[in-house]
Amino acid sequence: MNPIVKKTAIASAVIVLAAAGFVYWGLNSNTSELPSDATAGKNPQLVEPKAQWIPSIKLAKPVGWAAGEAPKAAQGLTVARFAEGLDHPRTMLTLPNGDVLVSETNAPAGNKPGGITGFVMGLMFNRVGAGEASPDRIVLLRDADGDGKAELKTTLRSEDMHSPSGLAYRDGKLYVANHDKVLEFAFTPGQTKLEGRPLRTMIDLPPAGNHWMRNLLLSEDGKHLYVAVGSASNVAENGMEEETGRAMIWEVDVQTARRRQFAVGMRNPNGLGWNPSTGEMWATVQERDMLGPDLVPDYLTNVPVGAQYGWPWVYWKDTFDERVQWPMQTYMIEYTRKPEYALGAHVSALGLTFANGGNRMGKGYENGVFIARHGSWNRRPSAGYDVVFIPFDANGNPKDVKPQPVLTGFLKDNGDTHGRPTWVTWDKGGALLVSDDTAGIVWRVVSPGAQPSVAIKPVVTEHMKPREDIKDPTSPEEAAKLMGGFRKEDDRLLPQ
């Protein structure tokens, strides 16, 4: 044998054996010490970290749903197929006329993690349906007769779609987030085709990365668009420069396209929504991997402007990740926020939607949030693969209870999975729609005979008056207004 050919063959064999060894180790590595619910709730149990070079792997092979099969709905609810025959449906948006837009999408071509770890992860993702080519389409579903099943399924647009995910609509404008930019289109609900060029590229985004989805949320007044961008890596192992513009939520002025960082330190923010009680933004966030099967819990949290959640340096406010090589600014430690509610380790939390007036889910679902937990790939036993409900109190905060199952049965007893719940939204009749990306189905969940729920009463009903401009701050009248009635002798309490 030619010496060069022989050396090449030996090197190839070593690589194959090494990869096989890594895969075997990942498939047979440590099992969880805790039930999944122990890592969920307002006060999750946080175990000691067990840093890994190669991730633990517990794959759930997607096998689909046979005719007549369906997930299991919670007591009092029913589930049926709203639409099927879709190609990797992920995000959804219900338009004012009741049509439902669905992104058929997957990771961008060539978007593979680097290194041996990335090589192994790529092999595994291919097995669970995450490595297929992206369909790159926005599909329109229409239930014209209101029977709970879409009669019309048509491609709204495929041109210039590149791993599209985020969708938002207001006042004749449709916004679509590709993995690398946000596009704005002129659009009128009722259209079944979206033709012509985009009105503009609103903003460019850092492309692809390990977390390539880009969710969108419009402010209630329509003046700002919020864009969730996940990190390029697990814990910035490729350097912080690669994470520029990532792991954060951007706020974009719709008129001028000027943007600012609204909240940062969020490894992979996905679902976004407005809390109807408080008007606050809330988000689901996927936390880091390779610290063992019980760390770190994904979470649900409110997102005030300027919030910092610590990624990649810390998790759950004050636990440092020793794997991170890059220095953390000391001032950040004081301002890192603790998430409001843990959703469980490695459950892969994705879409969320708040209960609000008009939903027909019945008693017990009037106030809270529904969340799709896409399901783990690196935990033994598997976690997630369901839709859960987190009840909220009258003040707009999560109650101190565990996530309540709404839709289960995706995961089979033998470890395979029928499908993976991905996104949630409301249809025009108040039923909950759930996209199932690996099965190509949109499920419809409702409580038969339930009356539409009443609107949630806002906690804040009266706003402070706008600050008055002071035309002449040196005038006696304005000085008195500023002092608020302080007496002269009180000056001794003020800085001299």
Condensed to tens digits (0 to 9), the pLDDT of residues 174-183 reads 999 999 999 9
Mean pLDDT of 330-349: 94
pLDDT value at residue 13? 45
pLDDT value at residue 20? 46
Spatial distance between the Cα atoms of 109 and 163, rounded to a whole number of angstroms: 9
Q: What is the percent of the chain with per-residue pLDDT over 90, rounded to a whole number?
A: 77
Please determine, for residue 46, whether its predicted confidence score (pLDDT) is greater than 60.
yes
Going by pLDDT thresholds of 50, 70 and 90, the confidence category of residue 486 is: very low
Please determine, for residue 118, whether its predicted confidence score (pLDDT) is greater than 50.
yes
Residue type, 221: D
Please determine, for residue 346, whether its predicted confidence score (pLDDT) is greater than 80.
yes
HSE-CB at 447 with a 13 A cutoff on CA atoms is: 17
Q: Poorest-confidence range of 209-218, 256-265, 475-484?
A: 475-484
**Count of C-beta atoms within a 10 Å radius of residue 102:** 28
Average per-residue pLDDT for the chain: 88
Main-chain phi, psi angles of 312, to 5 degrees: -90, -5
Mapping DSSP to helix (H, G, I), strand (E, B) and coil, where does residue 272 land?
strand
Please determine, for residue 119, whether its predicted confidence score (pLDDT) is greater than 70.
no
Spatial distance between the Cα atoms of 373 and 124, rounded to a whole number of angstroms: 19
Going by pLDDT thresholds of 50, 70 and 90, the confidence category of residue 4 is: low
Going by pLDDT thresholds of 50, 70 and 90, the confidence category of residue 111 is: confident
pLDDT value at residue 121? 59
pLDDT value at residue 56? 76
DSSP sequence for 376-401 = -SS-SS----EEEEEEB-TTS-B-SS
Please determine, for residue 478, whether its predicted confidence score (pLDDT) is greater than 60.
no
Q: Name every residue whose Cβ is closer than 8 Å to that of residue 4 and which is 6 or more positions away in sequence.
A: none
CATH class of domain segment(s) 14-446: mainly beta
Please determine, for residue 22, whether its predicted confidence score (pLDDT) is greater than 80.
no
Please determine, for residue 350, whether its predicted confidence score (pLDDT) is greater than 50.
yes
The helix (H) or strand (E) run that includes residue 8 is helix 3-27
Going by pLDDT thresholds of 50, 70 and 90, the confidence category of residue 162 is: very high
Domain coordinates in residue numbering, the chain:
14-446
Compare 466 and 226 and report the one with higher pLDDT. Answer: 226
**Terminal Cα-to-Cα distance of the chain (whole angstroms):** 91
pLDDT value at residue 492? 32
pLDDT value at residue 490? 34
Spatial distance between the Cα atoms of 492 and 496, rounded to a whole number of angstroms: 8
The two structure tokens encoding residue 164 = 């599209």
Please determine, for residue 326, whether its predicted confidence score (pLDDT) is greater than 60.
yes
Going by pLDDT thresholds of 50, 70 and 90, the confidence category of residue 481 is: very low
Going by pLDDT thresholds of 50, 70 and 90, the confidence category of residue 12 is: very low
Going by pLDDT thresholds of 50, 70 and 90, the confidence category of residue 382 is: very high
Compare 7 and 148 and report the one with higher pLDDT. Answer: 148
Are residues 31 and 58 in contact, defined by beta-carbon separation less than 8 angstroms?
no
pLDDT value at residue 173? 99
Residue type, 381: P
pLDDT value at residue 462? 56
pLDDT value at residue 131? 67
Please determine, for residue 357, whether its predicted confidence score (pLDDT) is greater than 70.
yes
Please determine, for residue 91, whether its predicted confidence score (pLDDT) is greater than 50.
yes
Spatial distance between the Cα atoms of 224 and 392, rounded to a whole number of angstroms: 26
Please determine, for residue 480, whether its predicted confidence score (pLDDT) is greater than 90.
no
Please determine, for residue 240, whether its predicted confidence score (pLDDT) is greater than 70.
yes
pTM given for the model: 0.87
Going by pLDDT thresholds of 50, 70 and 90, the confidence category of residue 57 is: confident
Residue type, 155: T
**Burial degree of 449 (CB within 10 A; 0-12, 13-18, 19+):** exposed
Going by pLDDT thresholds of 50, 70 and 90, the confidence category of residue 192 is: very high
pLDDT value at residue 21? 46
pLDDT value at residue 126? 60
**Count of C-beta atoms within a 10 Å radius of residue 309:** 26
pLDDT value at residue 270? 98
pLDDT value at residue 332? 86
Are residues 341 and 303 in contact, defined by beta-carbon separation less than 8 angstroms?
no
Rg (CA), the chain: 25
For residue 381, whether the previous peptide bond is cis, meaning omega lies within 30 degrees of 0, is: yes
Please determine, for residue 300, whether its predicted confidence score (pLDDT) is greater than 80.
yes
